[in-house]
Amino acid sequence: MTSIYLDYNATSPLDKEVLEIMLPYLTDNFANAMSFHSFGQNAAKGLEQARSQVAALFNCLPNEVVFTGGGTETNNYVIRGVARSRRHLGNHIITTQIEHPSIIKCCKELESEGFETTFLPVNNVGQIDIDLLEKSITDKTILISVMHANNEVGTIQPISEIGAIAHKKGIYFHTDTAQSVGKLPIDVQKMNIDMLTVAAHKFYGPKGIGALIIREGIEIAPYLLGAGHEGGRRAGTVNVAGAVGLGKACEIAKNKGESIIASVKAKRDRFYKIITDSLSNVSLNGHPLERLPNTLNLSFRGCDGQKLLIATDIAASLGAACHTTSRQPSSVLTAMGVSAEDALGAIRFSFGKFTSDEEIIEAANRIIKAVGDM
């Protein structure tokens, strides 16, 4: 039985076009982009082209793009940086109960330093209550951080509305778009976003590279201290090859994203139809419509999700990828009110542009057979 990969939300394979453009920066153009000599300047040209490609995808300025080591670092940078640079204005942060651990753990760490955090609840499809968010704002609120789309169930939050509320109150607004880049259109101007998180490996780019988009004029305390890389905003020699790969991934998403999204959504929906046409003990976790086009989180009532994946040789996730060693119910599903039994029987299938129609049919049939055998 050949293994089938349906875990694109955990990480995606590197696009061959991305690999090809990266290779010269791993060999000939290897120099430090901060060096003044010709080797360094060649690397710097690639870096700045990448910065422009990233900016074009999000409708921001190139100087608003800061290259980082990935999504977790970027989220840490924002939460800690805003808290410490705006401490004189207040000590209150608003986020949600279903954020990535890199947000939640930073907020909890800051609580030991005298900060306060409001973790907004979500409804049974994973969305926050906008009215409750607005009521939670105090005169000490300095930051609102709400992810664009959840990594486990794919539910999309009303980002533009949240950003508008934050701006009306003079509060910085950050959104973690690690899961939504390349899957949903993102425009920082139209969506009232001050800062957003990018992780290249979630949309066919390389691992170990990400970006913080930070609106011009916003100053936050740097996360890493050292030499003056990235305009003094992120110390450490820049991963030029990684940045070039991220830039190319953004260019592909901008030019081909609409057709890729439509194709992937069709595959996801076909998989879901095959499953639900044959099984009655299946329930969808997440919003039925306002959900990432590639994400399908299903609970198989009366089944153990882990045993299902082992029996079918399908690479998928029982919850967030970083939680798969735990048999505790997903904290996201728990926050949505999913029962412990259904949460333990939940599997997140996430599809990508390299998922074939044959894999869709085969994977669905394997699941149907395995559920019938349990």
Stretch 79-107: mean pLDDT, rounded? 97
Catalytic residue check, 322:
yes
Local confidence band at 224 (pLDDT 50, 70, 90 cut-offs): confident
Residue 322 has pLDDT above 70, yes or no: no
Residue that finishes a domain, picked among 253, 281, 306: 253
Local confidence band at 325 (pLDDT 50, 70, 90 cut-offs): low
Using one digit for the tens of pLDDT, what is the confidence trace for 245-293? Answer: 999 999 999 999 999 999 999 999 999 999 999 999 999 999 999 999 9
Q: How many domains does the chain have?
A: 2
Residues 264 and 351 placed together within one structural domain of the fold = yes
In the prediction, which pLDDT does 225 show? Answer: 81
Are 366 and 315 in contact by the 8 Å Cβ rule? The answer is no
Residues 219 and 263 placed together within one structural domain of the fold = no
Instruction: Find, among 348, 267, 250, the residue nearest to 305 by Cα.
Output: 348
Residue that finishes a domain, picked among 185, 218, 253: 253
Residues 72 and 212 placed together within one structural domain of the fold = yes
Residues 139 and 173 placed together within one structural domain of the fold = yes
Residues 103 and 235 placed together within one structural domain of the fold = yes
Residues 155 and 271 placed together within one structural domain of the fold = no
Stretch 119-123: mean pLDDT, rounded? 98
Residue 350 has pLDDT above 80, yes or no: yes
What is the extent of the structural domain holding 185? 16-253
Question: Residue 44 belongs to a domain with what CATH number?
Answer: 3.40.640.10
In the prediction, which pLDDT does 123 show? Answer: 98
Using one digit for the tens of pLDDT, what is the confidence trace for 291-302? Answer: 999 999 999 999
In the prediction, which pLDDT does 374 show? Answer: 77
Residues 178 and 310 placed together within one structural domain of the fold = no
Local confidence band at 319 (pLDDT 50, 70, 90 cut-offs): low
Residues 187 and 270 placed together within one structural domain of the fold = no
Residue 75 has pLDDT above 90, yes or no: yes
Question: How many residues are present in the chain?
Answer: 374
In the prediction, which pLDDT does 229 show? Answer: 82
* Percentage above 90 pLDDT, the chain: 86
| Strand blocks (E) in the chain | 4-5, 65-68, 92-96, 116-120, 141-145, 172-176, 195-199, 210-214, 282-285, 295-300, 314-315, 346-350
Question: Residue 350 belongs to a domain with what CATH number?
Answer: 3.90.1150.10
Question: How many Å is the Cα radius of gyration of the chain?
Answer: 21
Residues 247 and 365 placed together within one structural domain of the fold = no
Using one digit for the tens of pLDDT, what is the confidence trace for 173-200? Answer: 999 999 999 999 999 999 999 999 999 9
Residues 41 and 161 placed together within one structural domain of the fold = yes
Residues 127 and 243 placed together within one structural domain of the fold = yes
Are 286 and 154 in contact by the 8 Å Cβ rule? The answer is yes
In the prediction, which pLDDT does 320 show? Answer: 38
Local confidence band at 44 (pLDDT 50, 70, 90 cut-offs): confident
Residue 368 has pLDDT above 60, yes or no: yes
The model's pTM: 0.94
Residues 105 and 221 placed together within one structural domain of the fold = yes
Cα 81 from Cα 68, distance rounded (Å): 14
In the prediction, which pLDDT does 323 show? Answer: 46
Q: List CB contacts of 221: < 8 A, sequence separation 6 or more.
A: 80, 81, 84, 85
Give the residues across from 7 on adjacent strands: 350
